[in-house]
Amino acid sequence: MESPFFSASNPLNFLLGGDLPINRLGYGAMRLTGQPGNFGPYADWEGGKQLLHHVVDRGVNLIDTAEAYGPGHNEEIIADAFYPYPAGLVIATKGGINKPAPDNIQADGRPESLRQGVEGSLRRLNLERIDLYQLHRPDPKVPFTESIQTLAELQQEGKIRHIGVSNVTLAQLKEAEAIAPITSVQNRYSLLDRTHEDILNYCTAHQIAFIAYGPLAAHPLRPGSPLVDAEGTLREIANAHNMSSTQIALAWLLHRASNILLIPGTTSIAHLKENLASATISLSQSEFQQLNNLG
């Protein structure tokens, strides 16, 4: 799709699963839900649809959602905004969580629940096949391999194009790979939180997309980011580029590894533009190393 940020020779290009060209700077749609707790439909439904169109109009072609966001309402607003979907738009969703209340989030990786989840997402998104379906988190009550095997079967049935996993350890990722090709890992990762460095390095070596959620170290259920008012090295580099500290934090992630995909979320068009502008920042090797040293 046409994009000022996307071309075959652009370092922001990534071939997801070997066949889906995407802009590495995507959009996480979770905030387009009821608040607090990302529960219920988004209060400004038409405004949310308008924001989603701004996202795509500015060259973003990866939108990340989940059955648990709403639950279900987030997938519905995406379908309402885009169906019939423009060519090249990739929708990634997740399943394997039961969320009956804002503060009640339960992993549910049972095969029957995952099947119901995939069918529900297909219906809400108005799709015949989901481009990227991710296990939202392992369920400690269900053998991890059973959950992955179910997704592999759904892939063979043509309901899932690519399989991803989220909130996993490196050992779990390797377990999943023994059952089916794994296209992506979605784990928390940012300038301030590099807990999953080993998984990122493994994914980089094997050309698996690493979808870094929480790229600004924000709490998933609360607005704001601790990076907004950062001082010291981060602020100094931001000032040198006439950018914000959060823009530099996103730029660092894009420089960190060529398989890192970002899905910062926002409900503000101005904030969306600010996030996208981070893709234009070219960090020097010295600046990149200084930021590395903050971790």
Query: Rounded to whole angstroms, how far apart are CA atoms 137 and 94?
Result: 9
- State the catalytic residues: 69
Q: For Cα atoms 57, 162, 168, give the angle at the middle one, nearest 5 degrees.
A: 100
Per the CB < 8 A criterion, the answer to whether 75 and 125 are in contact is: yes
Question: Which pairs count as long-range contacts for 80-87, CB under 8 Å and 24+ apart, including other chains?
Answer: 80/45, 80/49, 81/48, 81/49, 81/52, 81/53, 82/52, 82/56, 83/126, 85/127, 86/1, 86/56, 87/1
DSSP assignments along 227-282, one per residue = TTT--THHHHHHHHHT--HHHHHHHHHHHH-TTEEE----S-HHHHHHHHHGGG--
> Token pair of 150, please?
């179910």
Query: Rounded to whole angstroms, how far apart are CA atoms 236 and 281?
Result: 15
Backbone dihedral region for residue 257 (phi beyond 0: left; psi -120 to 50: alpha; all else: beta) = beta
Which residues, in sequence order, are CB contacts of 236 under 8 Å at separation 6+?
none
